[in-house]
Chain A
Amino acid sequence: MNAALPFSTTDVTRTNRRRESIVRALLGIVTALLVLPLLAILALLVKHGAPALTLDFLLSSPAAGMTAGGIFPAIVGTLWLVGVSLAIAAPIGVLAAIYLNEYAGDHWGTRIVNLAIVNLAGVPSIVHALFGVGAFVLFLHLGTSILSASLTLAIMTLPVIIASTKEALAAVPMSFRQACWVLGASRWQTIRYVVLPNSIQGILTGVILQVSRAAGETAPVMFTGAAFYLPFLPQSVNDQCMALSMHLFTLSTQVPGVPEALPYATALVLVGLVMSVNLTSILLRSYLRSRRRW
């Protein structure tokens, strides 16, 4: 009998092996399924939007009561909003994260700050929008403007920037820091020469990923600075602007008689913009990695 030979398969082994392959297949399928929604969305957008996506569409203003023309002001507006909000949120977030991770000890004060950050990250964007109206538009008299909308977006993206930056800083090995301590480096010298150079990739990735979030949000900009339709481009942060996300919402739900291709093409541009930002972050990281002397 086979069973008498050493190293022959037994029934238990056979069952275990079957289970192993089932679990493996299941996990693999679930993982593969994750790609499907993205592909489906892209396919849908390309199918319906591509016909309308011309250079003229990208470079002209909406016309004929939004039922024709392009999205140029919305693209420009989104760039304004994202740019200004990041210019506010990125430095504040990174500096706060450096303080929290490198200087602040673990006591009730920092625990409250950390709790606040976690909870701020969980606040729904529509609540941020209402806060933005109350705080920036009305209380600070900034009016509905790019500045108000960007401040609102900044408040919304800050907690995530802080969290991802802290994570990147904490990932710098303890042994690097110890090396600095025993050489009498001050905290700032340790941060400047060792911690930051070894975490800048992670910090940038976290910051840039928030660009896509800021670009896509509709609610926070809707009441604070994004306009339904503007015949001119914004000249400063005190002007209102159009925004891709807001424009998409308007085209899809607020205006009758819009040709089907217009909202799809708008969505395609928005997704394309976000993806190219993410691609830039990947390229920037590999550039930084290659440029480091170490």
Chain B
Amino acid sequence: MQAPGSETQPVIVTRALRLSYGPHEALHGIDLTVRRGLITGLIGPSGCGKSTLLRCFNRINERYDNVTTSGEVMIHARNIYDPDVDLIELRKSVGMVFQRPNPLPISVRDNVLYGFRLHTASKQRNRETEGCELESALRAVQLWDDLKDRLGERATHLQLEQQQKLCIARLLPLKPSVILMDEPCSTLDPNATEAVEELMRTLAGPYTIVVVTHNMAQARRISDECVFMLLGEIVEHRRTEDIFIAPHDKRTADYIEGRFG
């Protein structure tokens, strides 16, 4: 599934990334390269630090008290922990989707346009540009046909699958290059999961996706590369088919085969 030539284009590169919650170190020196246009899956048992690592990529960890980070996270060849990095610009470029869909309790239209309105000067916004952004974002997540007559409806009343797709759609008007997903299907039923996975496949390419998942089968279905983490370290990072068919490390093999976790 890898796009030819993409191997040479890293989007996220971490070097000796360490993160502590108070005195407790959760990431012990992570060196990871995430490549452009791929879906990279982060797998591992609970508490291994995969969500923590994901939250380093848009620095949302810092909203929680008592977090200290060291090392480098290069995104588009810029260390995002540099003091003069603008967090707002970073978050526009690196979007995030959560475990539980969290649309705001406003209309479908206002949800999709929320970020766009925050970051676009009011002079450059009018009914046309907004309509354009709205339609293309909803089309990109395959919701346009379902929701085009229900744009005024409150987003929290939609089905969970639609809510999660909406949470992806609202990132798109900000023109992100990376989308981080923290177990995006764990509250969805199998049909909805399939729909969201299919959507992720269509978004990969133009967008670089990093997805945390507990679900081995899902990691295998959707990811191009897989990163197996254990106790705050990366054990193995290879192409998904390789890691599942012939893992190098015994711990990876044990986890994949369900001997622990």
Interface residues of A (CB under 8 A from B): 105-106, 175-176, 178-179, 181-186, 189, 193-194, 198, 293-294
**Residues of chain B within 8 A of A194, CB atoms compared:** 104
Contact residues on B (Cβ < 8 Å of other chain), bracket: 20 to 34
Q: Are A178 and B98 in contact (CB under 8 A)?
A: yes
Which residue on chain B has the smallest CB distance to residue A177? Answer: B63
Q: Are B104 and A182 in contact (CB under 8 A)?
A: no
> With A178-B98, A179-B167 given, is the CB distance from A184 to B91 under 8 Å?
yes
For the complex, is B58 an interface residue (Cβ under 8 Å from A)?
yes
Q: Are B171 and A181 in contact (CB under 8 A)?
A: no
Asked whether, in the complex, the Cβ of B60 is within 8 Å of the Cβ of A181, the reply is yes
A183 touches B100 (CB 8 A): no
Q: Report which of A105, A184, A198, A293 forms a contact with B118, defined as CB distance below 8 A.
A: A184
Complex: chain A residue closest to B170, CB-CB:
A183
Shortest beta-carbon distance, A20 to chain B, in Å?
37
Chain B residues with Cβ below 8 Å from A184 are 87-92, 115, 118-119, 174
Q: Which residues of B contact A175 (CB under 8 A)?
A: 98, 100, 102
Instruction: Give the number of residue pairs across the A-B interface with Cβ within 8 Å.
Output: 61
13 further A-B pairs in the complex, CB-CB below 8 A; given A182-B91, A184-B90, A184-B92:
A106-B65, A175-B102, A179-B104, A181-B63, A181-B91, A182-B95, A183-B114, A183-B174, A184-B88, A184-B91, A184-B119, A194-B104, A294-B104
Bitwise, B37-78 to A at CB < 8 A (1) or not (0) is: 000000000000000000000101001010000000000000
Closest 10 CB pairs of A and B: A183-B115, A175-B102, A184-B91, A182-B96, A184-B88, A294-B106, A184-B92, A294-B105, A179-B102, A294-B154
CA distance A189 to B117 in the complex (A): 11
**Which residues of B have CB within 8 Å of A176?**
102, 104-105
- Indicate if the CB atoms of A189 and B95 lie closer than 8 Å: no
> Is B184 interfacial (CB-CB < 8 Å)?
no
CA distance in complex: A179, B171 (Å) = 10
CB distance from A192 to the nearest CB of B (A): 10
Q: Is B232 an interface residue (CB 8 A)?
A: no
